[in-house]
Structure 1
Amino acid sequence: MELGKRIVFIGDSITEWGRHEDPEEIGTGYVRLLHDYLRVTAPKQKFEVYNKGVGGDRIINLKERWQQDVIDLAPDVVSISIGINDVWRQLDHPEMEQVSPEVFEAIYLHLLEQVKSSQLILMEPTIIEESLNSEGNKLLKEYVEIVQQLASEYNATLVPTHKVFVRYLEKNSGYALTTDGVHMNSAGNMLMAKTWIEAVK
């Protein structure tokens, strides 16, 4: 697939990672790796990369800022990474109003409808704890399946980030991908970027 020039990455803290401290507002996470990869492999393309990750965001928060952070930028490509906090809040803040799989799917579909003329890249939610049997990863499965289904319905590129992280955990390498079970270290960001590149290619 030939990528359009203007790319918006939107999501939660995993996407945001360091963008507020970065003069380019791209950050130090997987978005930075992808920006640099695109810059050095296709210098004539002059890609415009926008990082619109916000820490703590759930799908309901994306809906609130979709017009300003996505539509108003008139992107050629929209890459979405969301779902971790929709599940994590069920575990660490059960008193909050939660985002059920049904609500998650309905809002995600609503957002995609507004940008379906752009190239769509949907990233599976990654992991919650580096344990295959964690409660978070069990709850996450339904949200991952929704992203997979929506990617199929909208002819979007699916980035199988959950799948590759699970595959990595199954190998029991002993080398962590996160700092706290959710937020990526440099290896986790590399795996996300590598998976994105392979899916988009």
Structure 2
Amino acid sequence: MKVLFIGDSITEWGRHGDPEDIGTGYVRLIHDYFVTLYPNKQFTFLNRGVGGNRITDLAERWQQDAIAPNPDVISISIGINDVWRQIDHPEMEQVSVKQFEHLYVDLLTQVKEKTNAKIILMEPTVIDEDVESRGNQLLPNYVAVIRKVAQQFDATLVPTHRAFIDYLKANNGYKLTTDGVHMNSTGNMLMATTWIQAAGERLK
């Protein structure tokens, strides 16, 4: 079974220094979970995360990185930079909610038309470990798009945004990120366990 993960730096995390090109983030944890739990099953995990990507960047490389490998399962994690760039680089041309939805629908239409892949959509996580941060106030509109297109395309939704917000509300003081966005080991574990709980059946 070929499982392809595509997204931004949170997905990419460490893959360029990894001989297996899987990385050291949540993709590695999911890989290790399934390889050890099902040792008699043949898995191929592909990491196609690229740092800084927004959905516009995914659209430019979609055929080469998502369609051409012809995966059995494709997991998409995008949206953080579509919001974060509005905060840290407001001078850039921004991706509106409407454009985000239009592009996401186009990408998923291509998956449906050109592959037989099962589709898994991950919600973007958080921008700053503060529920009231500007980033976390802007993210829900993009999260809503992902929930909508998940229903539209019969995709499995991984509620990573909800999981992270619930964790922050618990206020136990243990950090999930290195800088408010990029995951430390605990944040990667929360992403991986949320993914496995929501989408693990797709790999059986």
> What band does the TM-score fall into relative to the shorter chain?
over 0.9
Structure 2 unaligned residues grouped into runs of 5+: none
Equivalence for 1:177: 176
Structure 1 unaligned residues grouped into runs of 5+: none
TM-align CA RMSD: 0.6
Aligned residue for 2:29, secondary structure, equals: helix
- Between the aligned partners of 1:78 and 1:133, the Cα distance in structure 2 is 32
Q: Give the residue type in structure 1 aligned to 2:35.
A: R
TM-score, structure 1 normalization: 0.97
* Per-residue deviation, 1:118: 1.3
Q: Give the residue type in structure 2 aligned to 1:150.
A: V
- Between the aligned partners of 1:153 and 1:108, the Cα distance in structure 2 is 11
Equivalence for 2:31: 35
- Between the aligned partners of 2:40 and 2:70, the Cα distance in structure 1 is 21
User: 2:81 aligned with 1:82, yes or no?
Assistant: no
* Per-residue deviation, 1:43: 1.5
Aligned residue for 2:68, secondary structure, equals: helix
Equivalence for 1:69: 65
After superposition, residues 1-201 of structure 1 pair within 5 angstroms as: 5-116=1-112, 117-200=116-199, 201=201
Q: After the TM superposition, list the runs of 4 or more consecutive aligned residues in structure 1 that deviate by more than 4 angstroms.
A: none
- Between the aligned partners of 2:67 and 2:40, the Cα distance in structure 1 is 25
- Aligned-residue sequence identity (percent) comes to 63
Equivalent residues, number = 197
Q: Give the residue type in structure 2 aligned to 1:90.
A: Q
